[in-house]
Structures are given as structure tokens and as C-alpha cells.
Structure 1
């Protein structure tokens, strides 16, 4: 192994999703000699692109090709199956790297803050199940004929669509056998999606909304109650082209005659969840209050309450980051406190050599474009600090890091491991006439990636 230059900048990025990989890409394109290790807790990279995008949205996953090219760069190493806080601590990383970038994203579900919430499911948990995340149970309760989904973002639509579509419709995707069997046993016929505000403020993307209506087995019903747009709403859609496209699509669907499809997705606007009723078996009722616009984009309750007879409730009101060992955390904002990506301690002072990027930095908002600009800001500050501070790591060889994990018996999954796992999944798909079939358990992922 060629020794690392003593002046080569050594950077660890914790998190192998888009935020972490974009940060690595920017580092390798900078005018600096750099060596980057990406530490990922799963045996496969790509984060929410692999485990947060619905399997029937393959176009979105095209981004994987660009991310894979970054991982293949000679100055970038993928160290998968390594969990920060379990296999390695921040103080350990400081011995091997001049800078550490935290890019762990947000996987937890936000709460609704209403009574009876313990009877609901988090959308992120359900998404992890149908995306075959290796760290979640392989079964999911799908015995509710009528289901409520709270939220009006793309994740809410993904959850509603997967609940409404038949298992055979999903069999063209990369779902493994346990997800297919779970969906095949599903008894859901009606999915009710609830929004606190009116249709002008729905956060669906136009494409996601239109695709809701593509299934030959699913009928989309937009209920006219609460489908009002006040002056503020009109100003809002006037400033946001995508919002106007969403509103136009919804308006075309209001009052359509039903055509008798076996599954239905109901969109309800101006209904704010106030309580979930249920027992040991889960939810039995979602209680909502009709709202009306105040005139500034917010709403107030009208006192008109409706009890919806549902047997399951899903929360799809956003993701939330969680605290990490050795780092400060703002629990209210659910981010690591930072200034332009520089981590700040409890006194508001920068923590030397420690940075954040992505949702753990700014919160779970924004798309891929935001993630790239976010990473550019963080890496710009990192490079400026590194130029001023000079090398700080004591053990500077990649082999030193490898020895650390070997001593702790960590089964590290490298980029070569991922390529073999990738080829294995593609081969599984070819055998079934599909592009890919995911391996859905950690042991199987590690086994598939080993040299035979």
C-alpha cells in the first residue's frame, strides 16, 4: 500500500446517503490533496435513495448511478456496515482524520402531538419495511380495510399508493419475497389522506400526485368539503408554479363520477387530526376538526368534529433527525447546532474539525439541489479551516483505520463488497424478469458481497 502523503487532508464522512456522497464529491474536486472515507452503518450505500423512495418510483433512483461514480473514485473509500457510536466514536475518528463530517440524515418520524398517537404507525417505519431495510422486522400488519394517512407530502402519497395498490402491481419493482407476501395479504380497500389546510398548500410534487391516478385498480377521490382557496392561497400558488399545477390536478378530480375500481384513495382537505382512539389492537377511530383559513396561510378550528372509522393510522408529517453520541443536539429543531456546517458546542463555539451536512444540518427539507448546495457550504468551510489548522490526525494511513476495525471484529463492507451485492441483486431480478430484487436482511447482504 502506498503511504499517504503527510499533508494529504484526511476526512471521514459519517453517512453514505446523498448528503455524504455529495460532500465527498466536492472534496475530491477541490484543489487539495484529499483522502475520504465514507462510514455507512448499512452494508449498502445511498441512504434514503435506496431505503426511502417507494419501489414503484424507479426514475428517482436514477440518481444512484451518479452517486456510484463518486464512490468509485480512487480517493474515496466506502466503509459500510460500520455504525457510528457503536463501532467507532467521534474521539476515535479524530485520531485518523483531520476532519469529520456528519451526514446521518433523518430517519425518525415526527409526532402529531395529539392524544392517542401511540395507536398510530410512523410512515418512515412503513417505508423502511416496504423498501426492505435490513434492520426492521420483515412483517407488517396490513389487516385494516380502512386506513388514515395524515400528511400532504410525497411520503404521504407513497404510503397511500402502496397501501392501495395490489401486490401484483408492485411485483414489477425490486421488492423481495417477504414484502410481496405481506402486500398480498393486505385487506385495505380505502385509504383516507388528511390535510390540515386547503389544497393550495398541499406539498405533493405534481408528478407524484398525477402518478397516484395511474393504477388500473385504484380510484382517487377528492372530496369537495374543505376544497376552498382564499385570497392568500391564490397569492401562494401565484408565486409557486408547482403548487398551481398540483391545484389544477386536484380541481380536475373534484366531483368525478366513481368508476367502481376495487381500491380507493380519498383526499380530504381542511381536516386537522385531533385524537386517535384505539386499544391494544391499534387504532379504531381518527377524530378530526374542520378548519378554515385565517387569511395568512394558517388555519383555525371551526368546532365541527368528524369521527372516521379506520383501523390503522399512519403519520406522514415529516422526518426527524436524532441525537448522536459525542455531539450537541438541538432537540427542538432536531438538528446538530452549526454555523454554515461547522458544529457548535453548548457555548456556541465551533468544535474543531467537526462538521455537518444534509438534513442533520438543516432539517428534513429540500430536494437534491438543496443537498448539493448544502454540502458545498460545509465543505467550503471545512477546507478553509483545514488550510488554517494544518494536519491534526496522528494515524494517517488508510491501513490504520482498517486495523482499528479488524481489532474490533467489524465486518466492514467495502465498495467492492457493494458491487458484488449489487450484481447479486441484479441477477436475482433477471431470474424473475425484473431489473433487481433486493436482499432484505443484513446477514444475506454481507454474505452476497463476500468473495466466493
Structure 2
């Protein structure tokens, strides 16, 4: 008898939850996720660039497709919001396009949903004709050297998250009391970090950098930033735009080792044009960088790999880093760094590892390649799992810029559409989509943040920013975000 009563209670609860969900959405005038259309229903996991670009292409290609985007945070846009440097507002203009996608009548955004925890991939697959994994790369690649867990050592992902207002990094509190900082890695993210550490405060005050980061940088003693790479100038991973910004940074000078550039001038003529321009700009910086009147400096250090983080007397705080000196075997992009047996110690109090992000498994039912840190796939089709797809960094690894992700996501969307049209996905079965998932989440005490509710958070951030003379002041506390979104 008790089993029957509990079953009836559960059934009533689910029906009541579904009714409540429908009423909540109707009250806000948002009924897109509960459309009764018989077209394909697609779920996208991850509200960053890969997710939005995939949605955009699906909506364009199929006039009957209904797309729902699920995002772990209450706020959308992923790395465009939390990864793009504060002094690159033009890159963030893509948010306007993403907003148009989110406001499309056949698209719905559902924030504050932790897929893999609040709802499983299997539950999503039952509710949708297709599920696209676009959740990016939120893990850090380890340096795998002694001392990397010492105080004063940070991953670039966490450091960028700190100054960009990622809630999980709000308590980072980096110690900026040392004069020298070392960044390991020479990609665009490494240069972003170096530029933020050395930029004049007046430049940063007009950006959307967080106020607590701005306050920490105001008290910073960092005057020298070394950007270390295991290979040479001809293998550097940054773009010319990022390098030019470093060269033109006010009140700083380049501090390079001329020995790192031996033989480079002779190799210039055989380089592809983009690599040639990048190398010429570096060599120009080497020649013009010796202005001793300028207090702050930055410089590349090539042919060096981290061996060990050195600690002070307490054995807990970083005071330097030991580097192995390398030589190159081979040439061009395929050149390998080989240790020479020599080492070099650099005194520093701040070490930032910018050697790459990595994706992490989201659900035990989803195939995952731990070595490559991606979901194994064929052109976006997850291997051995019909109806499951992937796009962005979880598909190909954490490489490229936003335009790379756009093209990659468009490719995944096209493959998905091809599978629909070839009959590889059974569209004859009517799938409930967000209606079932929202009801399920409510029985688990999970309340979603719709795009219209995100816009309330957005308005509050812009209001706070305006009072400070900046585009926005990001909210750092998730509970505060939810209060503003829901009330």
C-alpha cells in the first residue's frame, strides 16, 4: 500500500512540476522550449561559442528544428565572457550574434544546469533526437614537475578566470609582491596574461576587468615578465596581433636574449609570410628594446623547459623556477626540443602555467580519450554512440581562435543535418525535449535560468559598470546572480 501511495505521490509531483514549469514559462512569455512542433529536437550541452555557433547553423539549416542550450553557469557565452582579455572588447562583439540566436523563436537557453550531475546524458538522449556536446575544456594541463602545487604557482586558466570574473576563481588572490613573474608557454593566452600584468591601470580601468583584480593590480610590484617556451622563435605559438600589442604596450620595453635569435635572420627568406612577419617583429623588438629609462619590461625566453619550482625556507612558497636548456632537433613546426643537460634558475615569486587547457569527462556513458582529452569522434559524430555529437574544444582539443571554433561547429551542425536527411536519426518519434527535462530538473530541486532572466543579470552588471565608468562590473557570486535572475 505504501509503495502505491509513494508512486502516486511521485506521479502527482512530476505532473505538478511540469504544470508549474509551463506556467512559469508562459508567465514570462517564453514558450519556445515547450513547442509542440514535430520537427527534430536537438540539445546542446554548453553555452559557449561552440554551443551557440552549432545552434545558429542548425536553426538556419532546418526551419523545423527546435534547439535547447544547457549551460552549467547561470550566465551564457563561456570563454567569450570569461576567456577573452578585458582589453579586447571588439572580440566580444560576437555576443550580439549569440544573443540573436538565443532569442530565436526555436531556441531556448537553460542556465544553471550541470549536465552529468543534475541530469544525465542518457536522460537527454531520451528527450531529444540528437545531443551535441559543446562544453569546452575546463581542466588544466599539468606541468608534472616538483613544486607546481606551491603557493604562487597558478594555471593561466585560473588566472584569466580571476581577472575576468569567473565565479570559481574569485578567491584566487595571487601574490603580486615579487618584481619578476614567469609565464610558461608562448601562446596568445600567455601574452594576454603578460599584458594584463604590465598594462597601465588607466587602460584597464575602462575595461570590464573585475574591481577586485584591478585593486590587486594597483598594488602590484611586478615589473618584469618572462614568457618561456621550450622551442625557438620560429615555433612561437602567438599571433602577430598579440605580439604587436606587447611591443606597443606603453611604458614597457622588450628584454630579449640576442643569443636566442642566432641564425634566425638567414632563415627569414624561406618562411611563410605570416611566420615571417611575426619573426621580423620579434627581431625588431630585440633591436629596439633597450630603453633603460622604462621601468617595466617583458621578454621571451626560448629553448627552455620547466624542471622544478623552487621554494623558499618554508618549503611552501615559490621563489624561483629551474629551467632546462634545450636544443632543437629538426626544423619548422616539427622541431623537437631536446635537453642539453644545462640548467638555469630564475628568481621569481609568481609563476603562471600557460601550457594548455584540457576537456574532462562529463558522464560515464560518454566515450572519452584521456590521452588526447577529447570525446573520440568522426567529423563530430561521437564514436559508437548514435545520436550523440560534439563540437568545439571537446571535439578537436583546445586550439585555435573563436573563428576556428565557428567553422568547426558549423561542420558538426552540417554532419548532424546530413544524418537527419539520410535517415540515420529517427525523426518519426516525437521527442518531448525541454518539457520533459525541465520537469525532471524540478523534481530534483534544480531551477533553470532562462535567457530573459540572464538579461536581468546583464542589466545589473551594466548598471554597476556605468557607475564605475566601465562597460560592466561582473557579478562574481552565483547566489547573487540567481537572486537577480529570479526575483
Tell me the TM-score normalised to structure 1 length.
0.92
* Closer/same/farther in 2, CA of residues 86 and 392 from structure 1, 3 Å limit: farther
1:283 maps to which of 310, 315, 318: 318
Structure 1 counterpart of 2:352: 314
* Closer/same/farther in 2, CA of residues 337 and 397 from structure 1, 3 Å limit: closer
Structure 1 counterpart of 2:244: 210
Structure 2 counterpart of 1:272: 305
* Closer/same/farther in 2, CA of residues 45 and 229 from structure 1, 3 Å limit: farther
| Rounded Cα–Cα distance in structure 2 between residues aligned with 1:179 and 1:411 | 31
Instruction: Provide Cα deviations, 1:248-281, integer angstroms capped at 9, x if missing partner.
Output: 1111111432242232212212222222222643
> Bigger shift: 150-159 or 435-444?
435-444
8 Å contact 1:166–1:183 — kept in the other structure? no
8 Å contact 1:217–1:262 — kept in the other structure? yes
1:15 aligns with 2:46: yes
Structure 1 counterpart of 2:454: 418
| Rounded Cα–Cα distance in structure 2 between residues aligned with 1:31 and 1:137 | 41
1:128 aligns with 2:161: yes
Instruction: Provide Cα deviations, 1:214-245, integer angstroms capped at 9, x if missing partner.
Output: 3333333222131234699647x722x33222
Structure 2 counterpart of 1:347: none
Q: Output aligned runs, 1:178-193, within 5 Å.
A: 178-193=212-227
Structure 2 counterpart of 1:84: 115
Rg (Cα) greater in structure: 2
Structure 1 SS opposite 2:84 = coil
| Rounded Cα–Cα distance in structure 1 between residues aligned with 2:63 and 2:263 | 53
| Rounded Cα–Cα distance in structure 2 between residues aligned with 1:316 and 1:341 | 27
Instruction: Provide Cα deviations, 1:172-204, integer angstroms capped at 9, x if missing partner.
Output: 111232222222232222211111111111111
Structure 1 counterpart of 2:379: 340
2:206 maps to which of 172, 178, 183: 172
8 Å contact 1:232–1:295 — kept in the other structure? no
Q: Output aligned runs, 1:191-206, within 5 Å.
A: 191-206=225-240
Q: Which has the higher helix share?
A: 2
**Aligned residue pairs, count:** 444
* Closer/same/farther in 2, CA of residues 448 and 212 from structure 1, 3 Å limit: farther
* Closer/same/farther in 2, CA of residues 218 and 108 from structure 1, 3 Å limit: farther
1:33 maps to which of 53, 64, 76: 64
1:362 aligns with 2:396: yes
Where does the alignment leave 5 or more consecutive residues of structure 2 unmatched? Answer: 1-30
8 Å contact 2:112–2:447 — kept in the other structure? yes
Q: Output aligned runs, 1:395-434, within 5 Å.
A: 395-396=431-432, 398-434=434-470
| Rounded Cα–Cα distance in structure 2 between residues aligned with 1:373 and 1:162 | 29
| Rounded Cα–Cα distance in structure 2 between residues aligned with 1:177 and 1:299 | 41
Structure 2 SS opposite 1:352 = coil
8 Å contact 1:138–1:178 — kept in the other structure? no
1:63 aligns with 2:94: yes
* Closer/same/farther in 2, CA of residues 403 and 126 from structure 1, 3 Å limit: same
| Rounded Cα–Cα distance in structure 2 between residues aligned with 1:401 and 1:17 | 20
Give structure 1 regions of 4+ aligned residues with deviation exceeding 4 angstroms. 229-235, 392-395
* Closer/same/farther in 2, CA of residues 435 and 11 from structure 1, 3 Å limit: same
Q: CA deviation at 1:94?
A: 1.9
Structure 2 SS opposite 1:430 = helix
* Closer/same/farther in 2, CA of residues 267 and 195 from structure 1, 3 Å limit: same
1:351 maps to which of 385, 396, 409: 385
Where does the alignment leave 5 or more consecutive residues of structure 1 unmatched? Answer: 345-349
Structure 2 counterpart of 1:445: 481
Q: CA deviation at 1:409?
A: 2.2
Instruction: Provide Cα deviations, 1:16-60, integer angstroms capped at 9, x if missing partner.
Output: 111010100110011351110000111111111110111111121
| Rounded Cα–Cα distance in structure 1 between residues aligned with 2:420 and 2:263 | 52
* Closer/same/farther in 2, CA of residues 399 and 313 from structure 1, 3 Å limit: same
| Rounded Cα–Cα distance in structure 1 between residues aligned with 2:86 and 2:315 | 31
| Rounded Cα–Cα distance in structure 1 between residues aligned with 2:61 and 2:195 | 42
Structure 2 SS opposite 1:435 = coil
Structure 1 SS opposite 2:170 = coil
* Closer/same/farther in 2, CA of residues 328 and 398 from structure 1, 3 Å limit: closer
| Rounded Cα–Cα distance in structure 2 between residues aligned with 1:197 and 1:234 | 17
Structure 2 counterpart of 1:45: 76
* Closer/same/farther in 2, CA of residues 230 and 223 from structure 1, 3 Å limit: closer
Structure 2 SS opposite 1:162 = helix
| Rounded Cα–Cα distance in structure 2 between residues aligned with 1:397 and 1:351 | 19
* Closer/same/farther in 2, CA of residues 430 and 231 from structure 1, 3 Å limit: closer
Structure 2 SS opposite 1:82 = coil
